[in-house]
Amino acid sequence: MVTRRAAGVLRPAALSATAAEPGISPVPSSVRDALAEPHWRRAMEEEYAALLANQTWDLVPPPPGGNVVTGKWIWTHKRRADGTLDRYKARWVLRGFTQRPGVDYDETFSPVVKPATVRTVLSLALSRSWPVHQLDVKNAFLHGTLSETVYCSQPAGFVDPARPEMVCRLNKSLYGLKQAPRVWYSRFATFLVTLGFTEPKSDTSLFVYRHGDETAYLLLYVDDIVLTASSQHLLQRIITSLQ
């Protein structure tokens, strides 16, 4: 394995979010500014449409005496490896600090793969000349199904004009929730078991598949996945199942 640094390919230093770049709209400082700029407005509309398509929430009357978690928009420039602009990205996130323990969330711990496990699996793959593939899950936390009842405010700038007084009762997790990493991990791990993977006790973010002469190892670090398998066919089969 050759790293970017070893190959002399270095990522340019990140540009300031407020620095003026020719032809690139700067990161907005408010929802009003974002909605007034076509690029950022389109990014927000895409994020909102994705949340609706995922059936992330149902609009309901505010719960009497209940807690309503607030949220905010986050805007970023997503860049390619050479530093050029890839796309404008907007994400609606919740303010986890407005959650109440025992009311909006319980356990929040989510395991991440150990560095020693990563080194061991990659060394094994290298010694056996196995193919290695890296995957990134798009909007990973939005796939987690909540077990708690959580209410949040409607996204700023996208409040339903016919029901402005209503709030969102979440069906799926959102970024910013304290339990978001945990519910995503639980759902992903449960799905891997249905594919025939097992979870070694030594590292709960390592998943092993063995069937006859076929073997595969999957490493999970939040929404980043490293997958290696004893054959290219098995590797592609697992990727297809994950999709």
> β-strands 151-152, 224-229: how paired?
unpaired
Average pLDDT over residues 59-67: 92
Average pLDDT over residues 29-40: 96
Residue 220 has pLDDT above 60, yes or no: yes
pTM of the model: 0.70
Neighbours of 158 (CB within 10 A): 18
Q: Strand, coil or helix: what is 127? A: helix
Which one has a higher pLDDT value, 102 or 230?
230
Q: Strand, coil or helix: what is 129? A: coil
User: What pLDDT was estimated at residue 7?
Assistant: 62
State how far the Cα of 59 lies from the Cα of 223, in Å rounded to an integer: 28
Average pLDDT over residues 164-175: 94
Residue 16 has pLDDT above 50, yes or no: no
Residue 32 has pLDDT above 90, yes or no: yes
Q: What percent of the chain has pLDDT over 70?
A: 91
Residue 68 has pLDDT above 50, yes or no: yes
Burial string for 207-233 (b: 16+ CB within 10 Å, else e) reads bebeeeeebbbbbbebbebbbbbbeee
Residue 70 pLDDT grade (very low, low, confident, very high; cuts 50, 70, 90): very high
> β-strands 71-79, 68-69: how paired?
unpaired
User: What pLDDT was estimated at residue 196?
Assistant: 95
Among left, alpha and beta (phi > 0; psi -120 to 50; other), residue 132 is beta
User: What pLDDT was estimated at residue 36?
Assistant: 97
Cα–Cα distances in angstroms (integers) from residue 170 to residues 31, 51, 56, 62, 208, in the given order: 22, 11, 6, 13, 33
Are the C-beta atoms of 216 and 228 separated by less than 8 Å?
A: yes
Neighbours of 188 (CB within 10 A): 19
Average pLDDT over residues 77-92: 93
